[in-house]
Amino acid sequence: MSQQFFWGVSTSAYQIEGGHCIDGKGPSIWDEFCAKKSWRIKGRATGNESCDHYHRYREDVDIMASLNINAYRFSISWPRVLPEGKGRINEKGLDFYDRLVDALLEKNIEPIATLYHFDLPLELEKLGGWYNRDVAMWFSEYADILLARLSDRIKYWITVNEPMTILGLGYYVGTHAPGHINFIKGRDAVHHVMLAHGLAMQAIKSYSGLNGGISNILYPAYPHTPEDIEAVEAANRINALFIDPIMKGQYPDVWEIFIPSQKAVKTGDMSIISTPVDFLGLNIYTRAVVKKSLIPLGFLPVKPNYEGVKFTSMGWEIYPKSMYDALKWIADNYGNPEVLVTENGAAFEDKIIGERIVDKDRINYLKKYIQYMDKAIQEGINVKGYFVWSLLDNFEWGYGYTKKYGLVHVDMKTKKRTLKDSAIWYASFCRQRCLSHSLLNETDSEYAAAHSLKPGEVAVAVTGK
């Protein structure tokens, strides 16, 4: 990979693009989930319009340039490119990503593309979705199409985002699309997602000069009491479920319900899945505090309850050291591979004061997590990039539009973008591109005075409002 350190932001197609049924795009499982199981989503929201990034991408790229970032991680909508998931190519869909990538490069922003971020084409779900082994093969064909079109400009590719979330929420508890609850069939879906990753990695490796990897969400485990060490080991085996097959060529020893059946794993599959990656992407938000349990899983999560504990509006504990511990766990267990922190951020209740969006909690969160990433880097852990989740307030899956992760506020009625204070802070930090920059140590009272661009001025300059 490049020796340049990436400072960037992340998004995903379904969460920001809108344009759900125009210019030839086919439906995804999330279109269907929102339409048929709307009761599972706060406010019965949909991603039909969301931030309208499909039409406003140039404005969003201008905003990114104003943040002084040098990389943007986004996902490509599989059904926008292949409306039925296979076969017929939608040229208008490919044209959109052509335009987006060119706009990014014009601003000297490195495009980093994720092939799959939860939005399986609905037509493939009708054929069994991730229960069907053939979907992995069709995913490889989809990857081939995108590589043939975009590999001259996109040098960094992520195969799959968060297999743990895809399977856990989509196939085990049913709160994400496609909404299945099937513990027996779900374990084979685990394998098919991993096989899809491996086949896509082989496609990436067939091109010279490309870098490929996967993004996994990671919850470093901590014991609730000193007697809960075995529970930590059990929880970490779940963390390893989607990393061991790639880095070690085998599934970890976890509860049988998570391990693919012998029928699902064909000769040669593990060799495909363990195709060498150039980096591991890690999505790091919080930790898991666990206690031992007699249930086969071996652990149960415990909500932290101690003096001074703080949570995001998602109810996730703010624990900055989880960044360091997650990175160290990867380095210690997998030979210190190159890592991109592909997501880190927090949802908070932002305050709107005139034209200003005040979110000092987010600024403090980002500072502290970056400081612990810096500690890891200083100790030799091989981190090559950091991406804030997310650029824009967007459709947050089952939470609809009730949870705000963005550096940029989006009025979902008018689609007006307004930079939050956190965006101004991040722009100043990225302008320096230095982990030891004093902005990491600023007090809140020093924040406004430290910036040459004031919040109101930046919002006007970027949005044109």
pLDDT in tens, 207-232: 999 999 999 999 999 999 999 999 99
Q: 6 to each of 10, 22, 66, 116, 433, how far by Cα in Å?
A: 12, 33, 16, 21, 9
Confidence of residue 296 (pLDDT cuts 50, 70, 90): confident
Average of pLDDT values for 14-28? 98
> Is the pLDDT reported for residue 150 higher than 70?
yes
Confidence of residue 345 (pLDDT cuts 50, 70, 90): very high
- pLDDT tens-digit readout, 434-463: 554 455 565 444 434 333 333 333 322 233
Mean pLDDT of the chain: 93
Catalytic residue among 17, 125, 162, 442: 162
Average of pLDDT values for 368-393? 97
Average of pLDDT values for 94-107? 98
Tokens 């920059």 found at: 437
Nearest Cα neighbor of 21 from 66, 64, 59, 54 is: 54
Dihedral sign, CA of 57, 60, 66, 67?
A: negative
Q: 233 to each of 59, 142, 289, how far by Cα in Å?
A: 46, 37, 12
- Answer yes or no: 233 catalytic: no
How many residues are there in the chain?
465
Confidence of residue 257 (pLDDT cuts 50, 70, 90): confident
Nearest Cα neighbor of 338 from 413, 282, 297 is: 282
Cβ neighbourhood burial of 389 (10 Å; 0-12, 13-18, 19+): buried
Nearest Cα neighbor of 138 from 179, 187, 199, 180 is: 199
Dihedral sign, CA of 159, 164, 168, 174?
A: negative
Beta bridge partners of 281: 215, 340
pLDDT of residue 256: 80
> Is the pLDDT reported for residue 75 higher than 60?
yes
- pLDDT tens-digit readout, 166-213: 999 999 999 999 999 998 899 999 999 999 999 999 999 999 999 999
pLDDT of residue 2: 56
pLDDT of residue 254: 87
- The 3-state DSSP composition of the chain as helix, strand, coil percent (nearest 5) reads 45, 15, 40
pLDDT of residue 460: 28
Angstrom distance (rounded) from CA 399 to CA 379: 38
Domains of the chain listed by start with CATH number: 6-463 (3.20.20.80)
Beta bridge partners of 397: none
Tokens 């666990």 found at: 290
> Is the pLDDT reported for residue 382 higher than 80?
yes
pLDDT of residue 259: 85
pLDDT of residue 445: 44
Phi, psi (rounded to 5 degrees) for 145:
-65, -45
Task: Looking at 107-182, list the stretches that DSSP marks H as alpha helix, in order from N- to C-terminal side.
Answer: 122-125, 134-150, 163-167
Angle at 115 between CA 27 and CA 342, to 5 degrees: 120
Q: Are 393 and 407 in contact (CB under 8 A)?
A: no
Tell me the pairing of strands 279-283 and 71-75: unpaired
| Tokens read off for 272 | 């495909």
| Residue 377, SS3 per DSSP | helix
Catalytic residue among 17, 110, 343, 396: 343
- Answer yes or no: 162 catalytic: yes
